[in-house]
Structure 1
Amino acid sequence: MRFLLAALCALLMVAMLPVTPATAQSGSSADFDVTKVTPSVVGGGSPGEVVVSGTLTNRSGRALTGVQARIERGTPPTGEPAVQRAMREGVSGITEPAFSPVADRLEPGQSLPVQVRIPLTGSNSLQLSQTGVYPLVVNIQAGRSSIAETQFLLPVTSLPGQPPMRPAQATPTTLVVPIVDTPRLEREALPGGRAVLVDDKLSTSLAPGGRLYDLVQAISDSAPAGSSLGNALCFAIDPDLLITAKAMQGGYQVRQPNGALVEGIGRSAADLWLTKLRQATTGRCVIPLPYADADVVALGRAGLDDLVNGAMDGAQLLSAPDGLGVEPRDVMWPIEGALADNPVGDLPSTMLLDTRAVNVPAGSLTPVKLRGQNRTAIPIDPLLASALDPNRDTKQEVTEPSPPSSGALTSQNALGALAFRATGGYVPNATSVLVPPRRWNMRADDLRGLLTGMSKLDADGLIRLTALPSPNPATLAEADLTYPVQAGGSEIPREAIDKLAAQNFRVGDLARSSESDRAQTVSPGRVTTPLRNGLLHGVSSAWRGNSGAAEDWVRRATGPINDMLGKVRIEEYPGTTNRLSSDSPIPVTVVNDLPFTVGIRFKIPTVPGVEVQHDFGGGLATVPANGRRQFMLEASAQRAGRFMVDISVTADAGTPLGTTKRLPMESTEYGAMIPWLTGIAGAVLVLMSVRRIVKKAKARRERTAAAQKSVAEAETQPLAHAVTSSQPEDDRDQR
């Protein structure tokens, strides 16, 4: 019993694992990269055979001999789960035509082009007898061993020479075209500086043959503006990519691994691509993504409403004359098509949401009104999303380019899934919205094949190409948001967002402390907005599940912030000592190298013995744009001595500007001790004077008393004694 339970658990665990399409069997010794399937949609005017073209590569360590191939057909799926299995799992062929020789010998590492053909009907064919969506398997063998296997869907709207089998109602269909890349702009070209990119990979992607170039070029070629297919397309553009391409267009530098800067090589490629993008989007539906495809859900959970609103400001960049000059739709396509309950910020009125992110009936594709909000949700067709993204429901769903290999197979699966949606999987009163992966990795020929196939399905009456819906919330049923657990688990981590929030406070403090200068044409936003946008790189969808990369981009964004805040500073002090008296001002010069006026506050820690008044009445002191201003800080010394006073300036809310300067000061004043010393000295003098007077008075009294005593003694002597005493004097007179 325990063994059976363990086996059952193992089977359940395997069933829960995400599946990815295989281009070769597990353990196969060769790869077959399909580059084209002709026709992509079998219809009345199609040739009588299917041709699969591609490249066969021997990736084993031995030579492969007797290489041969054939195309097998599987059973047509009858439900959406069966379509999913046909796209992602192995399909057993029910037809076994003869093998065709491919090569006598294929050495290790050798590649060669291969074309495998199979008739639609007749003997040794696919044995098609009716319309439908058929899974096909390309089986390649060496001898009797299978070395590679590839599968895809083939829609058949009619057999050759017969009219198409039209459904009762065509399925309204629209396609979103994502124009998104990974953040690469480390520093915008702020006043006085040049743009810096972390690498030069974008120059390749924007050049002919590159991923982003091919997307735009294929749309222009196969779905020009004004055509029925062109009107059914809607571009989803990351404003950060537009800003990065414009920075490259103006000349830029590239950061090397050792930190050095070199000139970028993609200036002309960026110029060409921007021109083609403007032409391709003129008169079209355009959806602005959040700047840098930021994780607005994670920002909202952290209470950073201002950053959410800042991320949504990218629509202005698309509509600006020096941008694309288009009027974007008020639509948002959040990461993984999911939005948290009670979203914060000024978000658009319409959301493109995954059906798992909104509580709608199973299989429903009808727009709904989000409960408690004046917003509508347009469901993304999950079957088509799965067909367009082989990485769907994996960790690479958002972060990596997809499809990772053959775009031709992805195109075929999308056409097959779309044909099934229009027939066996029809959903009434709904538009099938095809939403590819964000970093759509389709070669130009593969995308042209998809667009041509969609036009064929439209012409055969299976689908009706239409614009992205604009639902009226007053007419819709209500539904609740249901944020998927998987989406929450891959959000940008809170640690990275906390670091971002701290830097965003510094940028906001500078913005709130600044104002435009009449003599300058640069507003504070010309500096602070790029600084904020740089921080949004740290919450890009590219870093979902990668906290290290998110924090690294926050660190990269901190450098330009420090540089801009450092442009407002106290001028270097010459080093002489300020001599203070009891009331002596300190001259301090503040320099502002920013092209707008900045309000500052002085910050001076308390120093015993010195008082400095620097509040300027409680308001901000202003320093003009690209100028300087001298301030006289009133200082008072309470005692003599040498002092070191630290002086710095901050923005309104305390963000430091520049660095702290230490000013040496010296005072010979005694300050408040002088009156005390004077009083004491005066008191001592008075006491000394009193003492002298007392001594003199005492001495006078003593002399007077002595004289009075002598007189009294003389009066009491006998007369004889008096005569005797006078005799010698008489004798002297006689002589």
Structure 2
Amino acid sequence: MTRPRARLLAAVVALLLAIAPLAVSGVAGAQPSSLAFLHVQIDSITPNVVTTTSEPLITVTGTIRNVGDRPVRDVVVRLERAAAVASSSTLRTDLAGNVDQYQPVADFITIAPDMNRGQEVPFRLVYPLRSADHPSLNIDTPGVYPLMVNVNGTPDYGAPARLDDSRLLLPVLGVPPPAEADANTEPLNSAVPPDTTRPVALTMFWPLADRPRLAAGVPGGTTPVRLVDDDLATSLAAGGRLDTLLSAIDFATSPQVDPGGEVTRAMCLAVDPDLLITINAMTAGYVVNDASDAGLRTTPTHPGTGQQAAIDWLNRLKGLAKRMCVAPTTFAQADLDALRRVADPGLSTIATRGAGDIVDQILGVTTTRGATLVGDGPLTADAVELLSGQGPTVAIGAANLRDPSGGVGETPSTAPVRFTPNVVAAPFDPTVGAALAGAGNSPGTPSYLNPAFDIPVKHDSAVARRQDALGSLLWRSLDPQTSPRAEILMPPLMWNLAPDDASAILGAVATTIRSGLAAPRPLRALIDEAGAVHGSAPMPQGSLGNPRGRIDDGVVSGITATTSRLRGLNAALTTDERTGLTGTQYTAPLREDLLRALSLSVPPDARNGLAQQRLTTVGATVEDLFHAVTIVKPSGSYTLATERSPLPLALRNDLPVPIRVRLFIDAPPGMTVTDMGEMVLPPGFLPLKVPIEVHFTQRVAVDVALRTADGVPLGEPVRLSVHSNAYGKVLFFITLSGGVILALLVGRRLWHRFRGQPDRADLDRPDPIEVALAYRDDDTDGPAPQRAPSTTGGTGE
């Protein structure tokens, strides 16, 4: 085969492979191609919640855009409807995957004969809810109905196929009367109200939480506080995420909007104490890391811009908290399953029972106690065991919803169950929670949801995701067959709603209560009802939720080790009388950092990476604290003048609080060291003189170590070079013997002197006078000296 023919054959084969996926099916309604050609986005649906007083027409508008690499011809669209949702799992499964359950409302409508690359075309579909003479949605009873906008087209080099679709839920609280044109032909031309004979007891939490923003590894007493970024300044300011959430709930529960207080009684603020600590610190001024790396402790900083926004937002929250229910989340939304594996009672207490005290102190209110908001993670056996050790509580977490192929019911039970004498679970429907998590500006899927029920929420428009949240929220109240007739609405704690989303969701809650489909159930009533449950249910089994959201064992073991080190240091710290700073206050931010490392507010894929980063920073800080208390190493050697000369030392404490320490001196043989006992080392320098006794004369090495009162090593051991001039016992006995001999000799001489006897020691010595005279006789140069008169006679001569 020649080279040109080979190239031609290769080109033909490549072309066939490119168009093969498009030619596998030419049936409108087949599954979309693996290649993306068109993207449909729903821009509005009117009305978003149908009531008996709504317009009888459903209007869906949107945009179709060519996102492929080639033109598309004959672009057509039509609206399709599925049967009313009959089970909880259908709230998810009808929004993805198979389309066999959908039936067309009307024929396809041509939107564009040709669409070039990047081109957009709008569409508008209007159909009545019910009609005998015209195409309609054929909805004549209240319920939640899945709708689908189906888009077909023919790409270049391909065949007609379904190229994209967009699905959403339409909640119908009541069916309005038909349009006037159909009034004469409709057998029933009156409105169809919902069944309100079994209203749902409704409790909803409104979250005010955020990701940990305080920089890791900064002990207490450090001012100004350091934040890893300045995102909170934007979130707290007008139009920000936290401002939107606070403004929406403040408006919906105001006396003007809710004069009867029904919505207020059904709502409870779920407040993260870590967020309050951060915002409260921001009100006094703060700095922000220049680098985005949360693990840096010494990065340059710049002043934060959200001080006034923090002051205003916190004051608004304090005012709102005085007139409605407030419940604390676990501290920093810590994962209770991972915290149980850490097995530190102190951290567990801070995360659960201590959270309410923080919220009470900052907001100046008394929070509703007795409930633990599990948050984004599943309620596992480890989480239940941790809560059981913290006293009686009602754990509010997601019910267990398994893959339907596993044979588990499609609608999980939301009835309270008692796992242990201290723990009662009040579960909420995970599909409803996941639908609420899909609404807003940052759609996501909670970690507690089984991956089998995950849907690509980011593919849908904000309007479609909002409709899914509304439909899921209202589904149980619209289906009188579901049991029990109670519901907990738990949005994700990191909820990021647009103002329209927040208004629509709170409006749906108010509508379902005022229409009689639901009745407000305050959190205190929920806790009391759950606490009355008797019996014992088996503990949750197996791995629940999304495995990607589980905290690694490596992170858990690292936190365990760091916690143990920090506990040993904290036990030795005392209070600085000058500043009032206590050791517990000084190390509290580091313990809280370890809880922040377990935060479920971080997306599952980044959870372990950020946890390890924060853990590494805290671990390094804890080691620095241990090395901040040291023995000052001398530049030279010590020389001891006597056997009892003290050993001079200097201790240094760079911590802002005193610490209880003990000296440990490894003395060589021949040296005795007096134990100085437990000492309180204040901040700064402390000179010491250690009493010792040596019994040798030589140069030796002495190892000195500093430890806490409980024996935890501090700083680095120091080796001292000591030179002793003492002779010890040998010198003592030599000196004593010499003294005795000298005393005997002096005594003998005095004895002979007093008796007038010459000392036998002097018998062999010449007379000193005769020696002097003989010396003078030999000296002829000088005059002879006069002889002194004798003093030995009686009168002398």
Aligned residue for 2:539, secondary structure, equals: coil
Q: Does the CA contact (< 8 Å) of 2:142 and 2:192 recur in 1?
A: no
C-alpha distance in structure 2 between counterparts of 1:656 and 1:194, whole Å: 31
Task: Describe the shift of the 1:402–1:512 C-alpha distance in structure 2 as closer, same or farther (beyond 3 A).
Answer: farther
- What is residue 378 of structure 1 aligned with on the other side? 426
Deviation of the 1:235 alpha carbon: 2.5
- What is residue 273 of structure 2 aligned with on the other side? 239
Task: Describe the shift of the 1:376–1:79 C-alpha distance in structure 2 as closer, same or farther (beyond 3 A).
Answer: closer
Matches within 5 A, 1:322-341: 322-323=362-363, 325-334=365-374, 335-340=377-382
Q: Does the CA contact (< 8 Å) of 2:431 and 2:449 recur in 1?
A: no
Counterpart residue type for residue 367 of structure 1: P
Q: 1:309 aligns with which of 338, 349, 358?
A: 349
Matches within 5 A, 1:576-591: 576-580=636-640, 581-591=642-652
CA RMSD of aligned residues (A): 4.0
C-alpha distance in structure 2 between counterparts of 1:326 and 1:67, whole Å: 60
Question: Could you state the TM-score of these two structures normalised by the residue count of structure 2?
Answer: 0.72
Q: 1:411 aligns with which of 453, 456, 466?
A: 466
Q: 2:195 aligns with which of 162, 166, 186?
A: 166
Q: Does the CA contact (< 8 Å) of 2:265 and 2:324 recur in 1?
A: yes
- Describe the superposition over 1:371-395 as per-residue Cα deviations: whole angstroms up to 9, x where unpaired: 4x13432121344234334665868
Aligned residue for 1:140, secondary structure, equals: strand
Deviation of the 1:338 alpha carbon: 3.4
Instruction: Say whether 1:467 aligns with 2:522.
Output: yes
How many residue pairs were aligned?
A: 656
Counterpart residue type for residue 539 of structure 1: L
Deviation of the 1:407 alpha carbon: 4.8
Matches within 5 A, 1:448-487: 448-468=503-523, 469-472=526-529, 475-487=532-544
Counterpart residue type for residue 201 of structure 2: P
Aligned residue for 1:87, secondary structure, equals: coil
Instruction: Say whether 1:263 aligns with 2:302.
Output: yes
Counterpart residue type for residue 317 of structure 1: I
Counterpart residue type for residue 571 of structure 2: R
C-alpha distance in structure 2 between counterparts of 1:357 and 1:631, whole Å: 67
C-alpha distance in structure 1 between counterparts of 2:65 and 2:699, whole Å: 82
C-alpha distance in structure 1 between counterparts of 2:235 and 2:455, whole Å: 12
- What is residue 732 of structure 1 aligned with on the other side? none
Deviation of the 1:555 alpha carbon: 1.1
- What is residue 197 of structure 1 aligned with on the other side? 227
Aligned residue for 1:487, secondary structure, equals: coil
Task: Describe the shift of the 1:473–1:68 C-alpha distance in structure 2 as closer, same or farther (beyond 3 A).
Answer: closer
Structure 1 unaligned regions, length at least 5: 1-22, 686-696, 698-735
Instruction: Say whether 1:133 aligns with 2:144.
Output: yes
Counterpart residue type for residue 155 of structure 1: P
Aligned residue for 2:338, secondary structure, equals: helix
Counterpart residue type for residue 631 of structure 1: L
Task: Describe the shift of the 1:36–1:567 C-alpha distance in structure 2 as closer, same or farther (beyond 3 A).
Answer: farther
Instruction: Say whether 1:365 aligns with 2:422.
Output: no
Q: Does the CA contact (< 8 Å) of 1:183 and 1:240 recur in 2?
A: yes
Instruction: Say whether 1:77 aligns with 2:123.
Output: no
Identity of aligned residues (%): 26
Question: Could you state the TM-score of these two structures normalised by the residue count of structure 1?
Answer: 0.78
Task: Describe the shift of the 1:501–1:349 C-alpha distance in structure 2 as closer, same or farther (beyond 3 A).
Answer: same
- Describe the superposition over 1:268-289 as per-residue Cα deviations: whole angstroms up to 9, x where unpaired: 4544543444444443222222
- What is residue 679 of structure 2 aligned with on the other side? 621
- What is residue 229 of structure 1 aligned with on the other side? 263
Task: Describe the shift of the 1:266–1:70 C-alpha distance in structure 2 as closer, same or farther (beyond 3 A).
Answer: farther
C-alpha distance in structure 2 between counterparts of 1:324 and 1:657, whole Å: 40
- Describe the superposition over 1:281-314 as per-residue Cα deviations: whole angstroms up to 9, x where unpaired: 4432222222222233333344322221122212
Deviation of the 1:79 alpha carbon: 3.6
Q: 1:154 aligns with which of 155, 163, 170?
A: 170
C-alpha distance in structure 2 between counterparts of 1:211 and 1:60, whole Å: 34
Task: Describe the shift of the 1:634–1:63 C-alpha distance in structure 2 as closer, same or farther (beyond 3 A).
Answer: farther
C-alpha distance in structure 2 between counterparts of 1:554 and 1:402, whole Å: 32
Task: Describe the shift of the 1:428–1:669 C-alpha distance in structure 2 as closer, same or farther (beyond 3 A).
Answer: same
Task: Describe the shift of the 1:543–1:156 C-alpha distance in structure 2 as closer, same or farther (beyond 3 A).
Answer: closer
Instruction: Say whether 1:387 aligns with 2:435.
Output: yes
Task: Describe the shift of the 1:550–1:638 C-alpha distance in structure 2 as closer, same or farther (beyond 3 A).
Answer: farther
Q: 2:47 aligns with which of 32, 35, 39?
A: 39
- What is residue 29 of structure 1 aligned with on the other side? 37
Instruction: Say whether 1:640 aligns with 2:697.
Output: yes
Deviation of the 1:223 alpha carbon: 4.2
- What is residue 492 of structure 2 aligned with on the other side? 437
C-alpha distance in structure 2 between counterparts of 1:120 and 1:24, whole Å: 28
- What is residue 571 of structure 2 aligned with on the other side? 512
Task: Describe the shift of the 1:51–1:392 C-alpha distance in structure 2 as closer, same or farther (beyond 3 A).
Answer: same
Counterpart residue type for residue 355 of structure 2: G
C-alpha distance in structure 1 between counterparts of 2:322 and 2:417, whole Å: 30
- What is residue 593 of structure 2 aligned with on the other side? 534
C-alpha distance in structure 2 between counterparts of 1:347 and 1:436, whole Å: 26
Q: Does the CA contact (< 8 Å) of 1:199 and 1:254 recur in 2?
A: yes
- Describe the superposition over 1:482-529 as per-residue Cα deviations: whole angstroms up to 9, x where unpaired: 224223966433332232222222322233223334443322222121
Counterpart residue type for residue 182 of structure 1: R
- Describe the superposition over 1:442-469 as per-residue Cα deviations: whole angstroms up to 9, x where unpaired: 3332232122122222233222233231
Q: Does the CA contact (< 8 Å) of 1:188 and 1:247 recur in 2?
A: no
Task: Describe the shift of the 1:419–1:192 C-alpha distance in structure 2 as closer, same or farther (beyond 3 A).
Answer: closer
C-alpha distance in structure 2 between counterparts of 1:314 and 1:604, whole Å: 44
Task: Describe the shift of the 1:353–1:612 C-alpha distance in structure 2 as closer, same or farther (beyond 3 A).
Answer: same
Matches within 5 A, 1:664-675: 664-672=721-729, 674-675=731-732
Q: Does the CA contact (< 8 Å) of 1:203 and 1:266 recur in 2?
A: yes
C-alpha distance in structure 2 between counterparts of 1:24 and 1:264, whole Å: 52
Aligned residue for 2:349, secondary structure, equals: helix
Q: 1:318 aligns with which of 359, 363, 368?
A: 359
Q: 2:709 aligns with which of 644, 648, 652?
A: 652
Task: Describe the shift of the 1:534–1:397 C-alpha distance in structure 2 as closer, same or farther (beyond 3 A).
Answer: farther
C-alpha distance in structure 2 between counterparts of 1:219 and 1:531, whole Å: 33
Deviation of the 1:582 alpha carbon: 1.0
C-alpha distance in structure 2 between counterparts of 1:677 and 1:37, whole Å: 112
Q: 1:556 aligns with which of 617, 621, 626?
A: 617
Q: 1:494 aligns with which of 544, 550, 553?
A: 553
C-alpha distance in structure 1 between counterparts of 2:312 and 2:649, whole Å: 51
C-alpha distance in structure 1 between counterparts of 2:232 and 2:531, whole Å: 44
C-alpha distance in structure 2 between counterparts of 1:229 and 1:535, whole Å: 37
Structure 2 unaligned regions, length at least 5: 1-30, 155-159, 178-190, 403-407, 439-443, 743-759, 761-797
Counterpart residue type for residue 398 of structure 2: D
Deviation of the 1:135 alpha carbon: 1.0
C-alpha distance in structure 1 between counterparts of 2:121 and 2:392, whole Å: 51
